[in-house]
Amino acid sequence: MTIRPKTTMSVREMGSLLGLKKVDSYWLVHKEYFETVLVNGKMRVVIESFENWYAGQVKYRKVNGEPPGKRLNQESYSARDIAGMLQINEMYAYQVMKNAGIKPVLVDYWQRFPKEDFDKWYSGQSRFRNAEDRRRDAEIEESTMSMPDMAKLLDVPRNIVYQILRSSPGKELLQVVTIAGRKRITKESFDRWYKGQDRYLKPEDQPEGVPRKHRHYADSLAKKEVLTPAGKKEARFSANPGYLTVDEAALMAKTTTAGIYRWISREKFPVLRISRKTIRIPREEFEAFLGTEAAKEEENGIDRKTP
């Protein structure tokens, strides 16, 4: 005699499974989250449909048994999942998904994002990186240098580095790679370029007593006045070299602070909002933006004072 597995369970059994009282158990039944049948005039829950519902939600959890949301987690990500993968905060994850045009689905009043749509978006961009890509990027970064790195090495302002990259020898010899949305120069190509020219020399290679052709890198960071629509004012400077104030960004871009705020409003680069009135701009992201083709087009087509 073979014993067939149960295909249904009573509402009381279902409630006990989830640790619910009678009223809450029948509330779930009347919401028609899963299929029910009448057996001898008594309502019973179809186990298969219950398990399918259980795998697609995360609000209710069995007293003993596997965690909920197995199917849900296979098909979609929460904002917290995405934030953890990309190493950003949860609120920013919502904004990133909105900007990417990924439509969320509501599950128990929480927004979740289809994995298929997320994976398609992720494979088509390079700015945000998951743990695996960050490890791979770290290996590549060992053999490359950033634009500020090159400027420090040659002891010249960063705008000289961009001039070098736009020059014929620079285009021919310097190999530029993009890592996490940021352009970097391979150290091998830098060495090849450096040996083939004598215009830009490292401080240790410069002859004594010969005047410098270009300003020192440190001098390029010295305090200056920043033009504003109302005239001139003393610039505010950040104590953290990795971040720029709006004034410093305006100096670097040769524009006004109003122009920087317009770029910020258009989300041309990320910013860190420390308080309602205090903004810091990641230096590398801003320099990468200034070096992009988009920035060059805006510079050529629009007065830099009105970006």
Give the mean pLDDT of 32-44: 91
Q: What is the pLDDT of residues 164-181, one digit of tens each?
A: 999 999 999 999 988 877
Residue 222's pLDDT is what? 55
Give the mean pLDDT of 139-146: 90
Tell me the pTM. Answer: 0.50
The answer to whether the beta carbons of residues 268 and 262 sit under 8 Å apart is: no
Residue 239's pLDDT is what? 60
**Residue from 87, 192, 189 nearest 137 by CA:** 87
In angstroms, the Cα distances linking 112 to 72, 101, 118, 292 are 9, 13, 11, 33
**DSSP structural state of residue 304:** T
